[in-house]
């Protein structure tokens, strides 16, 4: 199984609408990629490692697929429309990490 993690870095004047992300963006992604998506999860950053510090990331989106090929074939046809929705919930530049889940 692989996990696609989309990370939204925090920073000065960065915004993130978690309600839109959870209620509109992620359901849209789920509908577009269909049954290839096995599981999804969202995390919202609330603090950094040191007491009182700000989070490094505003949010994370996690998408689970059986394989890299399953992700690529499900996502590619919809990449443009999915990416076009990003300005509706954030002004930060997302980072992507694809990992193999071991446990």
Q: Tens place of pLDDT for every residue, the chain, 103 residues?
A: 999 999 999 999 999 999 999 999 999 999 999 999 999 999 999 999 999 999 999 999 999 999 999 999 999 999 999 999 999 999 999 999 999 999 9
Which of the following CATH numbers is that of domain 14-47+54-59+71-103: 3.90.1150.10, 3.90.79.10, 3.30.70.100, 3.40.50.300? 3.30.70.100
User: Per this entry, what is the length of the chain?
Assistant: 103
* pTM for the full predicted model: 0.94
Residue 49's pLDDT is 93
Q: Are the C-beta atoms of 5 and 95 separated by less than 8 Å?
A: no
**Token pair in block for residue 103:** 């446990």
């Amino acid at each position: 199984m692989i996990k696609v993690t989309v990370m939204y870095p925090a920073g000065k004047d960065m915004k993130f609408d978690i309600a839109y992300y959870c209620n509109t963006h992620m359901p849209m992604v789920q509908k577009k990629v269909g049954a290839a998506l096995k599981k999804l999860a969202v995390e919202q950053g609330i603090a950094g490692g040191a007491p009182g510090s700000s989070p490094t990331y505003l949010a994370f989106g996690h998408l689970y697929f059986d394989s890299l090929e399953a992700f690529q074939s499900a996502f590619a046809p919809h990449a443009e429309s999915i990416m076009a929705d990003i300005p509706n919930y954030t002004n930060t530049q997302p980072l992507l990490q694809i990992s193999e889940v071991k446990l």
